[in-house]
Amino acid sequence: MENVKAIVLRAAGINCDLETQFALELTGAQADRIHINRIIEDKTILDGYQILVIPGGFSYGDDVAAGKILANQIRHHIYDGIRKFIDDGKLVLGICNGFQVLVKAGILPFADSSGQAVTVTYNDSNKFEDRWVYLAPETDRCVFIEQGRRIYLPIAHGEGKVVTRDKQTLEKLGMEGFVAFKYVDENGNVGDYPVNPNGSFESIAGLTDTTGRVLGLMPHPERHIRHTQHPRWTRLKTPPPATCEDRQDTRHKTQDQDADGMTIFANAVKYIKANL
């Protein structure tokens, strides 16, 4: 497939949709920002796309709980359409609030007949955490992930703690490859706060599903799509950013394509082109 098309879902309170759209467009995909009400009105809209992204923000003001209202809209109006979307081999990505939505809608990490077995709740610090963190990949199943690559992304959330209903569920997440990313330090080691910024069980930063074609993560890949967005880029062993005169230099294009956040979007588009 040459022309990859992505939906960036919109709803009241979502505020990272433009950045997410831009990141997808940098990969060569066509990305359209579409309000969830339009999809509820016409569920066939999903048929024309191969990637669905629920971006970050504070959907519906995070009333009741973070992402809960948007999750209920999905659960009661378009859940079957999203399940078909996934079953057709397409991709779903949830970022920060989008991750909370996917979990609370029952799309991540797996279907459970006894009810929601995983949720995302308030940070142990009882405050909004806004900084950069290291992530280590924990599964070889998820198509969004570059195996073996530790990445550095910003977080911005007050409710990012991944918890499970019981110990058995937590063990299942780890043993069966549902954990996509863990919070680690710069050496790849898990640790307590601030390495784990929210107290997530087993340092879980992101989850995937049984297919590996759904990913949800709390950090924001769309905020690290240029190498100059790295908070220490001037001290890294990279050439300086492109000027107006040399911005077409392939050296700088290569650097940006290799930015940690870009790997998530680029791998998604690459997968669609190769498989659909």
Q: Distance (Å, rounded) from C-alpha 187 to C-alpha 180?
A: 18
Please say whether the beta carbons of 230 and 236 come within 8 A.
yes
Omega of the bond prior to 109 within 30 degrees of 0, cis? yes
220 as an active site residue: the answer is yes
The active-site residue, picked from 19, 129, 159, 222, is: 222
Question: How does DSSP assign 212-231, residue by residue?
Answer: S-EEEESS-GGG-SSGGGST
The helix/strand/coil state of 10 is strand
| Nearest CA among 153, 177, 17 for reference residue 98 | 17
| Nearest CA among 7, 51, 5 for reference residue 29 | 5
Neighbours of 69 (CB within 10 A): 20
The active-site residue, picked from 157, 220, 227, 252, is: 220
The active-site residue, picked from 16, 19, 96, 138, is: 96
96 as an active site residue: the answer is yes
Neighbours of 47 (CB within 10 A): 12
Please say whether the beta carbons of 48 and 31 come within 8 A.
no
**Amino acid sitting at position 255:** Q
Please say whether the beta carbons of 130 and 93 come within 8 A.
no
41 as an active site residue: the answer is no
Q: Distance (Å, rounded) from C-alpha 74 to C-alpha 52?
A: 13
**Which residues form the catalytic set?**
96, 220, 222
